[in-house]
Amino acid sequence: MKYLLSLALLSLVSFQPAPVCAQDGPSAADRATARRLATEGQVALKKGDFDTAADRFERANDLLAAPSFLVRLARARVGQGRLVEAYEIYRKIIREGVEPDKPEAFKRALADAKQEVKAVEPRLAWISVNVVGANPSAVQVTLNDAVIPSAALGAQRPVDPGTLRVKAKAEGYQPAEAEVQLAEGEHLPAIEMRMIALPKAAPVASAKKDPIMDENGGEESSFMSQSTLGYVTLGVGGAGLVVGGITGLLAYSRHQDLVNTPCAVKEGNHCWVLDPTPEKQEEAQQTEKEMNTFATISTVSFIAGGALAATGIILLLTAPDDPATTAGTATFRPYVGFGTIGAVGSF
């Protein structure tokens, strides 16, 4: 019995569940998918369909990183004319190398990369971009819409051959732009992006006018007060009445001249003089014409002057009290009545 108990305890102590192996690296499905994509990429590469080939090899390498996929991706980039990317892919393969225990396909890809990079490197074009007139760190420079870091400005930079458009912009400066054509292997002198500062906007003057100060230091509207407008209107109306009176007197004088002229026939204000000579007849007609003109002016002046004078009186009578009418300040107001005109005030 003792022997059986010891054997049971030994069995419990020695028993341990087998560990579950954790999955390391891509799954079997990912590996199969990567191989399928690589096969499609190789077919497209042979047909010269470099865009499809680059897509397939890039996706295959994302699923299963392998130098055999990368070297084919580099060849597709060369076919696309993207020599800088191809050059960097070749350099990545060479830099990372291949361990001795890796498949033969990996070692063959490394050897191909070392040979093919030698053909790509001389085909690269090189430029440098300098910023003049502004702090380079404050200027955004782009090359074919890709931003060039400020740390790379002024340094030689590999580019793909073809048309290059360089743009520079910064706050407070006019945008600058340059376009150049580069052949394979060409090295251009530095491209200068000259930044010109924009003129500073002049401060906008305030449209508000300074208020008019009254006698007591208070602010009044810049337009004339009702009292002032009343005086002005009354003055203009009075002038119209004066003009009406003067022209009325002149019209009356011309009328008397016609009355005192001996007429052969008289009909109303029309007079046919006894002396039939053209000079006398013309003189009578001129006198009649002047009489009518003065009479018309007098009538219009009396009507307009009376209306303006009445308006001025109304404005003065309805104007608010003037704070200036304090003790020791002389004030006056004109008045016009039936048959009378004058002024009242305090002194």
Domains of the chain in start order, with CATH, are: 28-122 (1.25.40.10), 125-194 (2.60.40.1120), 223-346 (no CATH)
Q: Is the pLDDT of residue 288 over 50?
A: yes
Q: Is the pLDDT of residue 52 over 70?
A: yes
Residue 115: which pLDDT band, with cuts at 50, 70 and 90? very high
Q: Give the model's pLDDT for residue 126.
A: 94
**Average pLDDT, integer, range 262-289:** 63
**Average pLDDT, integer, range 113-132:** 94
What is the CA 109 to chain-centroid distance, rounded?
56
User: What digits encode the pLDDT tens for the residues 1-36?
Assistant: 444 434 343 343 333 444 434 456 789 999 999 999
User: What digits encode the pLDDT tens for the residues 159-215?
Assistant: 999 999 999 999 999 999 999 999 999 988 889 999 999 998 777 665 555 554 554
Structure tokens at 316: 């003065």
Cβ of 124: how many Cβ atoms within 10 Å?
A: 20
Cβ of 287: how many Cβ atoms within 10 Å?
A: 18
User: What digits encode the pLDDT tens for the residues 296-305?
Assistant: 887 887 788 7
- Nearest C-alpha neighbor of 94 from the set 64, 117, 120: 117
**Average pLDDT, integer, range 64-92:** 95
pTM over 0.75: no
User: What digits encode the pLDDT tens for the residues 133-152?
Assistant: 999 999 999 999 999 999 99
Residue 124: which pLDDT band, with cuts at 50, 70 and 90? very high
Q: Give the model's pLDDT for residue 289.
A: 80
* Mean pLDDT rounded to a whole number for the chain: 78
